[in-house]
Amino acid sequence: MNRRLRTAFAVTAVLGAGLLMTACGGGDTSSASADTKPSAAADSDSSAASGEGSSTGTGGEGGDKSGGSSGSDATSKSGAEGGDTAGDKSGYGQSCGTNDISWSVSSETQAGGYYLIKAKAKPGITCVIPAALPVVAFGSDGTAAKPAEQSAGQEITLRDGVTAYAGVNPKTTNEDGGKELDSLIVSVSDSDPDPVSLKVGSFVVDEPIVTSWHTSAADAVPFSS
């Protein structure tokens, strides 16, 4: 009887110990599983944060690249335009001053006789004679030649190989009289401070006329009306 009781107690103890061990193992597994879930959630949060950070960074780089490219294009275009504008204007389009021109005059016999004024740009100069009547005066009293044509001519750009011509008839009347002079006083405009005096020999001045500027000498004959 005692042996059986001891045996029963021993079996009961073994079973109890087994159950106790099983219970403890189950608790650990549950705990480990519970611990794993927060870790996964943390990893997920970390991944999400990383993804957001990466997206923002890429957007920033895109903004920087776009801004840099735009700035570069604007600078390049501005520089190019600036360079072209300076090259187009250099040495071109200035109005001729009397001292920009080499002047000469010749005596012609057509139309009863007249003087042909020739204007050439000096070496290295390109300038524009305006579409206005040449200023031609005679003597100290400033007698000025009147227009020989009803309309003004066109502006002429003087450069190497281009000559402008104007014809002057110092006497258009048939009566005797007038004043005797020996030079023409010529300038491009009334406001020009440096008129030139062209010596031509003795001639009589009475109601003089002058043509507009022309690029052909044949068009600069001052026919009186």
CB contact at 8 A, 101 and 121: yes
Q: How do residues 190-205 score in pLDDT, each as one tens digit?
A: 888 889 999 998 899 9
- In this prediction, residue 158 carries a pLDDT of 97
Region of residue 201 (phi > 0: left; psi between -120 and 50: alpha; otherwise: beta): left
**147 vs 71, higher pLDDT:** 147
Checking if the pLDDT of 54 tops 70, the result is no
Q: How do residues 138-149 score in pLDDT, each as one tens digit?
A: 877 778 999 999
Distance CA 204, CA 175 (A): 11
> Model pTM?
0.59
Confidence tier at 70 by pLDDT (50, 70, 90): very low
